[in-house]
Structure 1
Amino acid sequence: AVDHLQIARELGPLIESCSDEIERIRDLPDNLFERLIEHDLFRLVQPRDYGGAEVSPLEIVRFIEEIGRHDASTAWCLGQNNICGAIAAWMEPDAAREVFSSPRQILAWGPGPGEAHAVPGGYRLSGRFDFASGSRHATWLGAHVPVYLADGSRKPAVDGSTTPYTLLFPRESVEVKDTWQVIGLKGTGSDSYVVEDLFVPEHRVVARHLSTPRRVAGRLYALTQSNLYASSFSGLALGIARAYIDDFVGRMRDTIPRGAARSRGHNHVVQSKVGQSEARLRSARAFLYETVEEIWSTVQSGADPSLDELVRLRLASTWATQQAREIIADLYLAAGALAIFESQPFERRFRDIHTVAQQIQGHAAHFETCGQILMGMKPDRSMFTF
């Protein structure tokens, strides 16, 4: 079996050497992208039936965490593009082979208002979609929209619900807008795209609802893409925090402030912050890893995850992301003026982790949802099931 974690470690120096360029061009540079393709690192979550590695959930978390230690934008793109590829498990085989025909066939998508209307042979799609991470090197894009039949009624899912469908189409068939002017995760190129009355054939209209039978046997796909996004992006947050602590310790140990006799590392506040940060990071990581392993054990047994397990996964992933953000915010303040310089390894990670924590998968609002369920209430469960 391919050791993707070891590959991530070996690529670490190259990724770090590209980090300034990644930030500047707001994309992955060609030399790095080609190495990722060479190691087939955009198909880790795709079904084996279509050339993917179909790794376990914990493997993708570990992989993204390791890449995140070296560059957050690279890790985010790999997480996003890989998990988009899991949709192949719900696609008609011929359509999956069309979209995912080689390691260079990469899918990206983003949310946005839009709709599709039935016409002979398929649907006409219109809308604007944003936050399409990894779209600059993608070959395919997707849209999650309500679908309307010829009589104007909403096309239901298998269980009768009105969950959106996903339509897939070549990137070159739509207008991509350079909108990614942001403070963090700059290198993800999470642009917007506009679709105007685009014909999408029936075979590239995908239902990925829980009620939709999967077309491959792999137990990985008993988890939703939302479950995989949550766990992998929280792994990324842990990777950013791990690198931040390590660099903080090195700089504080070796830097002697002006007018001081000893390094910053001798400051009692700095020492306490390091100890607390290490404890918080390791406990958050342990909670995430334990939860991912538990839910994977359940699905490997042939069962679908219970609501209790999905709540724990959402709690663990959100907690990991928010703890990573708090750790970095505390250490940023403790580093003093040193932290504001672009020449130091602090300010970019500070911006990146705050951007990660703003994204829906790691947003603190999930604590409220989980708390309601734990108290026996019935909140919106869409973040657990789609």
Structure 2
Amino acid sequence: MADAGDSPETSDDEPPLPERAAALVELLSRNAATAEQDRALPDENVRALQEAGLFGLLAPARFGGHQTDFRTFVRVIAELGRGCGSTAWVVTLINTCQWMVGLLPERAQQEVFGVDPDARVCTVIEPNASSTAAEGGQVITGRWAFASGCGHCQWAMLGIPIVDDAGEQVDQGLALVPMEELEVVDTWFVSGMRGTGSNTLVGEEIFVPEHRILSVSRALRGDYPTEHDDEVLYRSAFAPVLIIILAAPLLGLARGGLDAVLEGLGKDKKIAYTFYADSRHAPSTQMQLAEAAQLIDTAELHLTRAATDIDTWAAGPEYMPEFHRARVRMDTGSIAVRTREALDLLLNIGGAGSFAEANPLQRIWRDQEVAGRHAVINPAIATEVYGRALLGIEDQVTPII
């Protein structure tokens, strides 16, 4: 398995993918307030990401994508998160959708990447739709909320019930639909992650052929319809991938918070109502800073282990066992907790001034609080899942493992 520093998806004269991401941090940081105000990524961000090839991280190499491993992928996303949490969130989800397209049959992949190698895809996995069986596919109608980055995409993968001719649900699926067949409704009014543009998609009576529908039940078992079963990336475990990719932006946000505090401490900042004219010399500052940095390091270790587990099992002959899948979910929940704790300490160092609108720390904090509460990250549920796995209890609380 290649490490990010020597990724096989970059040529000798191109910088490694994490370095490309690092080169964009200053730009993303500069535009973060604009992304929040506009409730969408600035065009400058999208162009820069496209030029750096960071929308094609998980797209098949057959169509010009990087087809990188997940250990490299999470490093790239975390680096982007240092500059802008919303940008990292959109990039991680669009790339994950490219990966899901790579699970579909060649015919579907050709319709997306064969027509446009730079095509971008968004997703809403929750099956907020109705379906009717039709010859060769399903006719779907629905309203899918929280479609992050949908304003920058040409396709959407949407959760649907799969029904038989009698109208009975026989499975849950993800339907690949051209964005031109959908309406985008402006519904994303939130206190954090505002720049993700996670609006609502609406569609009526859309025919989706069978080759563009991914069975979720089969995917959760690692049974993918792609004919290219020699491609290691597209043998990665389904639920762990969907879970871990949401942890990487959290790590990036925490690192961005640490960067902001360190920069602020370099300006002879005093501690009000004390004799400390320079807060850097206060043991309380030093201890909280060290503890925050250690919590961020801990989150990184969990993220690296989870990504390495996914890559290692994908490269082998067996599908990732449920115990290891449960541990990935626990790792992700732990990352949410550790990064939240780290940002709490960093806010303590800055005091009430951390919440000034001009201070990036307050935006980072709001972004982390919103992103860290995504349903599949839920640390309490993750702990239940892992505890049951440790005890060998077969009945689980969720199928997303």
TM value normalised by structure 1: 0.92
Q: 1:261 to 1:366 in 2, by over 3 A?
A: closer
Within 5 Å, which residues of 2 pair with 1:348-367? 348-364=363-379, 365-367=381-383
Match of 1:346 in 2: 361
Cα separation, 2, equivalents of 1:121 and 1:383:
28
Q: How far did 1:196 drift?
A: 1.6
Match of 2:399 in 1: 382
Q: 2:90 aligns with which of 77, 95, 103?
A: 77
Q: 1:175 aligns with which of 183, 191, 194?
A: 183
Q: 2:237 aligns with which of 207, 224, 229?
A: 224
Cα separation, 2, equivalents of 1:348 and 1:50:
37
Q: Say if 2:130 and 2:141, in contact at 8 Å, map to a contact too.
A: yes
Match of 2:4 in 1: none
Query: What letter matches 2:120 in structure 1?
Result: I
SS in 1 for 2:168: coil
Cα separation, 2, equivalents of 1:113 and 1:213:
23
Match of 2:277 in 1: 262
Deviations 1:97-154 (CA, angstroms, capped at 9, x unpaired): 1122324411112134212211234321011111101101111112111111223233
Within 5 Å, which residues of 2 pair with 1:33-52? 33-52=46-65
Match of 1:109 in 2: 123
Q: How far did 1:74 drift?
A: 0.5
Q: Which stretch has the larger CA shift, 281-290 or 184-193?
A: 281-290
Q: Say if 2:105 and 2:226, in contact at 8 Å, map to a contact too.
A: no
SS in 1 for 2:159: strand
Q: 1:323 aligns with which of 335, 338, 344?
A: 338
Q: Which stretch has the larger CA shift, 188-197 or 253-262?
A: 253-262
Deviations 1:324-351 (CA, angstroms, capped at 9, x unpaired): 0111123213321210112112100000
SS in 1 for 2:132: strand
Cα separation, 2, equivalents of 1:261 and 1:166:
58
Q: Which stretch has the larger CA shift, 72-81 or 105-114?
A: 105-114
TM value normalised by structure 2: 0.88
Cα separation, 2, equivalents of 1:337 and 1:239:
23
Cα separation, 2, equivalents of 1:336 and 1:52:
45
SS in 2 for 1:21: helix
Question: Is the aligned partner of 1:120 residue 2:138?
Answer: no
Q: How far did 1:258 drift?
A: 5.0
Query: What letter matches 1:169 in structure 2?
Result: V
Match of 1:187 in 2: 195
Q: 1:370 aligns with which of 386, 390, 395?
A: 386
Match of 2:326 in 1: 311
5+ unaligned residues in a row in structure 1: which ranges? 156-161
Alignment length (residue pairs): 377
Q: 1:232 to 1:126 in 2, by over 3 A?
A: same
5+ unaligned residues in a row in structure 2: which ranges? 1-8, 11-15
SS in 2 for 1:136: helix
SS in 1 for 2:116: coil
Query: What letter matches 2:278 in structure 1?
Result: S
Q: 2:227 aligns with which of 215, 225, 244?
A: 215
Q: 1:381 to 1:49 in 2, by over 3 A?
A: farther
Q: CA RMSD in A?
A: 1.9
Q: How far did 1:72 drift?
A: 0.5
Query: What letter matches 1:128 in structure 2?
Result: R
Q: Which stretch has the larger CA shift, 180-189 or 220-229?
A: 220-229
Q: Say if 1:46 and 1:52, in contact at 8 Å, map to a contact too.
A: yes
Match of 2:69 in 1: 56
Aligned-pair identity (%) = 26
Match of 2:5 in 1: none
Query: What letter matches 1:33 in structure 2?
Result: V
Cα separation, 2, equivalents of 1:243 and 1:31:
20
Query: What letter matches 2:357 in structure 1?
Result: E
Q: 1:121 to 1:309 in 2, by over 3 A?
A: closer
Cα separation, 1, equivalents of 2:265 and 2:69:
38
